[in-house]
Chains A and B, each alone.
Chain A
Amino acid sequence: MSESPVFLPVRRLAGLVRSRAVSPVALAETFLDRLETLGPTYNAVVTVTRERAMAQARRAEQEIAAGRYRGPLHGIPYGAKDLLATSGGIPTTWGAAPLREQRFDFDATVIRKLEEAGAVLCAKLAMVELAGGMGYRQPHASFTGPGINPWNPGAWSGGSSSGSGSAVAAGLVPFAIGSETWGSILSPAGFCGIAGLRPSYGRVSRHGAMALCWTLDKLGPLCLAAEDCGLVLEAIAGTDPADPTTADRPWSYEGADVAGRRFRFGVIKGVAIGCEEAVRANFERSLETLRAIGTVEEVELPELPWEAITRTILHVEAASAFEDFIESGKIAELTAPEDHYTPYARDAILAKDYVKALRLRGVMAREADRVLSRFDALVGPGRAAVAPGLEQEFRSAIRGSVPDLMGAIGNGAGLPAVCVPNGFSDRGLPTSLQFMGRVYEENAVLAAARAWQSLTDWHRQHPAVDQPA
């Protein structure tokens, strides 16, 4: 094969693997080498899983040679956020210094499903400690160092799925798995200029994943393009007896050609208020482009404390999930200084207020569905700002210092969203666009994002990354 496999989307790599133009073993070696040589440049990797990867790649090669092709992920390398349990002595650190030797004797369901699809696990990827649940507010919040953005080494890669974002953007893996409780897939996807899909709550089993918030946590793919997110989601979606919150709704990816399809887009009134100028300007330009493929209608939401609802649920569940860790004082061993004390304040949340948030969550879900039922997707900026500097304290919707209406509603109501690049700031950092749909309508938001990417080439632009530090 003369063409480099780096920065080729999964669909294209799959064609090459299936036709045996490229060998899964050679593919694994290429990406393992990149993870080992370039991974440290971006603080993207916790563990390179070379032994497991080569065994999986050799098996894929043999199976494909024997005519037993499993599907589009067969022989394709990937990385997993380091909160997914992996067997075989591979550490699963949750990004936290006190847990750097933690190991499990089983594979998370997502890891198992990807193995069944023939994908090749090449690395456990860096993340913000405990998925950011302790309240971090600057990038130095992982024992592997701050996630570094492939577009600018002075900028953060986002979080909490920091390595999943930077590894895909830097061409260290063709796709990665991340998790989102509030923003942890969309943030690294947006900051790194790639596609990130937050599936509906319950679409993907969390068995074997670190629990931060039981009713908010979702697992999903980060890829070079929206198309690839559909291919990966199909492999990992599905009900799982080990995770009773999984929805008994089979899902398959409808990757049909979107040429000529017309969409109905909604835009929440004022959704770009408070965004950085580059984000706002690129969003306005994006709406003009979207009018070429559908209608764009402004919608108003009723007055509700959307962010307060989701924030209260998040704070309470995270405080409970890590009760022992917090009360024992173990949080003092975490990397971010603010993680040493921030969670203590959550003891001040009253049970009655938490239950009020749960009652309001029902109102939120019904109102969101009422609005979304009229559209294929609501569109908005993927992030309110471009990636902050490595030494910069950032604003956070979880702390209440920046509005994130779509994030609050999308995560609070468990709605799917896909984030794709839509331009750059004058500092050369990506801005992004998100499409959010009704629950279980991943195909609708992916179709909208594919249509967007058929009109634009932001997703075909990649940072210059081939110089190790």
Chain B
Amino acid sequence: MPAEAEPDTDIEVERRFALVRERYGDRLTPAQLDEVRTGVQGIVQTARALRAVRLENSDEPMQPFMPYRADP
């Protein structure tokens, strides 16, 4: 039976943290994993700040792509 989620558990943080733990958990100590979880919390907060801004369909990424062709 799965453990009941803590009332203040942030599912998005936990899901993203689970991915990081799956990839790198075997090389990190419990204390380091706690720090990584804190880092993921910051990343989720940052992402939410970005998502809170509405953009127009025409607002393109400011990242110019240039097609390439070798001479000639």
- Digit string of B14-53 for contact with A (CB within 8 Å is 1, else 0)? 0011011001100110001101100110111111011111
User: Within 8 Å CB of B51, what residues of A?
Assistant: 353, 356
A359 touches B55 (CB 8 A): yes
B49 touches A348 (CB 8 A): no
Known pairs A359-B59, A360-B55; A341 contacts B46 (CB<8 A):
no
User: Within 8 Å CB of B43, what residues of A?
Assistant: 315, 345-346, 348-349
**Any A CB within 8 A of the CB of B9:** no
A347 touches B19 (CB 8 A): yes
B20 touches A309 (CB 8 A): no
Looking at A345, A353, A357, A359, the one whose CB has the most chain B CB atoms below 10 A away is A345
**Any A CB within 8 A of the CB of B62:** yes
Interchain pairs with CB closer than 8 A, number: 97
**Of B19, B45, B53, which one neighbours A360 at CB under 8 angstroms?**
B53
Q: How far is the CA of A408 from the CA of B12 in the complex (A)?
A: 26
B52 touches A305 (CB 8 A): yes
A345 touches B20 (CB 8 A): yes
**Any B CB within 8 A of the CB of A455:** no
A359 touches B61 (CB 8 A): yes
A359 touches B60 (CB 8 A): yes
**Any B CB within 8 A of the CB of A365:** yes
Q: How far is the CA of A357 from the CA of B51 in the complex (A)?
A: 9
Q: How far is the CA of A329 from the CA of B23 in the complex (A)?
A: 11
Which positions 335-387 of chain A face chain B at CB distance < 8 Å? 338, 340-342, 344-350, 353, 355-363, 365
User: Within 8 Å CB of A361, what residues of B?
Assistant: 61-63
**Of B28, B46, B59, B63, which one neighbours A344 at CB under 8 angstroms?**
B28
**Any B CB within 8 A of the CB of A399:** yes
Q: How far is the CA of A363 from the CA of B32 in the complex (A)?
A: 37
B50 touches A344 (CB 8 A): no
Q: How far is the CB of B39 from chain A (nearest CB, A)?
A: 3
**Of B46, B60, B63, which one neighbours A311 at CB under 8 angstroms?**
B46
B62 touches A345 (CB 8 A): no
**Any B CB within 8 A of the CB of A138:** no
Looking at B44, B52, B61, the one whose CB has the most chain A CB atoms below 10 A away is B61
A341 touches B28 (CB 8 A): yes
Known pairs A342-B39, A348-B16, A348-B20; A329 contacts B61 (CB<8 A):
no
Q: How far is the CA of A349 from the CA of B40 in the complex (A)?
A: 8
Q: How far is the CB of B5 from chain A (nearest CB, A)?
A: 19
Question: CB-nearest residue of chain A relative to B45?
Answer: A400
**Of A304, A332, A355, A400, which one neighbours B53 at CB under 8 angstroms?**
A304
Q: How far is the CA of A340 from the CA of B32 in the complex (A)?
A: 9
B50 touches A308 (CB 8 A): yes
Question: CB-nearest residue of chain B relative to A412?
Answer: B62
User: Within 8 Å CB of A345, what residues of B?
Assistant: 20, 36, 39-40, 42-43
**Any B CB within 8 A of the CB of A215:** yes
**Any B CB within 8 A of the CB of A432:** no
Q: How far is the CB of A366 from chain B (nearest CB, A)?
A: 9
User: Within 8 Å CB of A340, what residues of B?
Assistant: 32
Known pairs A312-B47, A348-B19; A363 contacts B55 (CB<8 A):
yes
B55 touches A308 (CB 8 A): no
User: Within 8 Å CB of B63, what residues of A?
Assistant: 215, 358, 361
User: Within 8 Å CB of B35, what residues of A?
Assistant: 338, 341-342
Question: CB-nearest residue of chain A relative to B12?
Answer: A348
A305 touches B19 (CB 8 A): no
Q: How far is the CA of A309 from the CA of B52 in the complex (A)?
A: 12
B36 touches A344 (CB 8 A): yes
- Digit string of B56-69 for contact with A (CB within 8 Å is 1, else 0)? 00011111000000
Q: How far is the CA of A358 from the CA of B24 in the complex (A)?
A: 28
B45 touches A358 (CB 8 A): no
Q: How far is the CA of A355 from the CA of B65 in the complex (A)?
A: 14
Q: How far is the CA of A192 from the CA of B40 in the complex (A)?
A: 33
User: Within 8 Å CB of B62, what residues of A?
Assistant: 358-359, 361-362, 365
A305 touches B53 (CB 8 A): yes
Q: How far is the CB of B67 from chain A (nearest CB, A)?
A: 14
Known pairs A344-B28, A399-B42; A357 contacts B50 (CB<8 A):
yes
Can you add 19 more A-B contacts, CB < 8 Å, to A345-B20, A360-B59?
A305-B49, A305-B50, A308-B47, A308-B50, A309-B50, A312-B46, A332-B27, A340-B32, A341-B24, A341-B33, A345-B43, A346-B39, A347-B23, A348-B20, A356-B55, A357-B50, A358-B61, A359-B60, A359-B61
Residues of B within 8 A of A (CB): 16-17, 19-20, 23-24, 27-28, 32-33, 35-36, 39-40, 42-47, 49-53, 55, 59-63
20 A-B pairs with CB atoms under 8 Å apart are A305-B46, A311-B46, A342-B35, A344-B20, A344-B24, A344-B28, A345-B40, A347-B24, A348-B16, A349-B47, A353-B46, A357-B50, A358-B61, A359-B60, A359-B61, A359-B62, A360-B55, A360-B59, A363-B55, A400-B42
